[in-house]
Amino acid sequence: MMTIREKTKRTIERYNMLYSGETVLVGVSGGPDSMALLYLLMDIRNEYGIALKLAHLNHGFRKEAADEAEFVRKTAVSLGLPVIISSIDVPAIKETDGLSAQEAARKARYAFFAEAAEEAGASMVALAHTADDQAETVLMRLLRGSGPLGLSGIPPVRKISSQESGGRRQGPIIIRPLIECSRKEIEKYISERNIPFVTDSSNLKMDYMRNRVRMELLPFLEGYNPNIKETLVRTADVARRDNEFLDMEAESAYQSLIPHPSSFIPTDNSGITLDFKVLKKLPEAVSSRVIRKAIKAVKGDLKRVSFQHISDILSLMDYGEGKWSLHLPDVTVSREHDKLLLKRGEGRR
């Protein structure tokens, strides 16, 4: 049996997460997962030549929030590490931006990590997502039908986009060193080392679907496959590998389909034109992703665009010479002669 320390190191090496000389900002809620991450990184920091700083975001949702922030501050002091603590008013963001509580919290969290990383001179932000979180995510995506892209789950390493980081040119990289460790292994580590933590009740309340998957569906599936969590984590790995390659292929096809900035229609009639014949010659695995990229470029995001919409477009593309239009949420896709036009607005469904 591998120890959790060995497993974490294996994950770090498998995904090239750490470089000597870097400062890593550790996102610490004060809960068991993030406290275990912090102690594990402390334990290996000399080996990897990294410096650690803590970051805590006070969500301001619950009255325990102030106590949690205080716990994280004291932890940092006792460990002799710098800490950045910030408060946000998620309900206010929710109100202003018309987002769900979860979307608002997510948006605030990423913007905070980007800002705190800049302030701390850290190029990396370590988060404490576990194999259990991964398995839950994969199942939730499968139930929702978000396709193979969704099945790739939580990425072990990813860049915070410039949009997510509030327009910063250079967003930090998110790393998840515990993504292959189970919650059970973490609990064992926490109790063996007597690591203090606060019980974070927010997880249990905020995401109803995730909790149902965790408490009810995963235990049920263990009746079919006792190693279902590991199985789902591996499925996510393979799906991610496939998607990265397919996305690379789609990106280069997309770039070649939009060779000049002039093929972008000006903003007042904001849209994109793709060469229909070239698009039709691509394998569907690639053309479907090129269409998603074009929709995202026109609409700003892919919200409410299902893979059924994309399949409908691919089916329509098979219809001889005729003209057609398809109304998606906030986007209209139409064929005119040898062009596929994507325009903002006019969405009907």
Residues that bind a copy of itself (CB under 8 A): 14, 142-145, 147-148, 151, 209, 212-213, 217, 220-221, 224-225, 228, 231-232, 234-235, 237-239, 241-242, 244-246, 248-249, 283-286, 288, 307-308, 311, 315
Nearer to a copy of itself, 118 or 242 (CB): 242
Query: What's the chain's length in residues?
Result: 349
Give, for 90, the enclosing helix (H) or strand (E).
helix 90-97
Provide, rounded to whole angstroms, the least separation between the CB of residue 99 and a copy of itself.
23
Residue 344, φ and ψ in degrees, nearest 5: -70, 150
59: exposed, middle or buried (Cβ count in 10 Å: 0-12, 13-18, 19+): buried
Nearest one of 158, 181, 163 to 230, comparing CA atoms: 181
* Residue whose structure tokens are 């120890």: 3
Nearer to a copy of itself, 200 or 242 (CB): 242
What does DSSP assign to residue 154? Answer: S
What does DSSP assign to residue 136? Answer: H
Q: Are strands 83-87 and 124-126 parallel, antiparallel or unpaired?
A: unpaired
Nearer to a copy of itself, 125 or 253 (CB): 253
Provide, rounded to whole angstroms, the least separation between the CB of residue 217 and a copy of itself.
7
Provide, rounded to whole angstroms, the least separation between the CB of residue 35 and a copy of itself.
29
What does DSSP assign to residue 213? Answer: I
Nearer to a copy of itself, 190 or 213 (CB): 213
Neighbours of 335 (CB within 10 A): 20
* Residue whose structure tokens are 């969405």: 347
Nearer to a copy of itself, 201 or 315 (CB): 315
Provide, rounded to whole angstroms, the least separation between the CB of residue 279 and a copy of itself.
15
Q: Does residue 134 sit in helix, strand or coil?
A: helix
Provide, rounded to whole angstroms, the least separation between the CB of residue 270 and a copy of itself.
28
Nearer to a copy of itself, 111 or 139 (CB): 139
Provide, rounded to whole angstroms, the least separation between the CB of residue 15 and a copy of itself.
11
* Residue whose structure tokens are 């998603």: 292
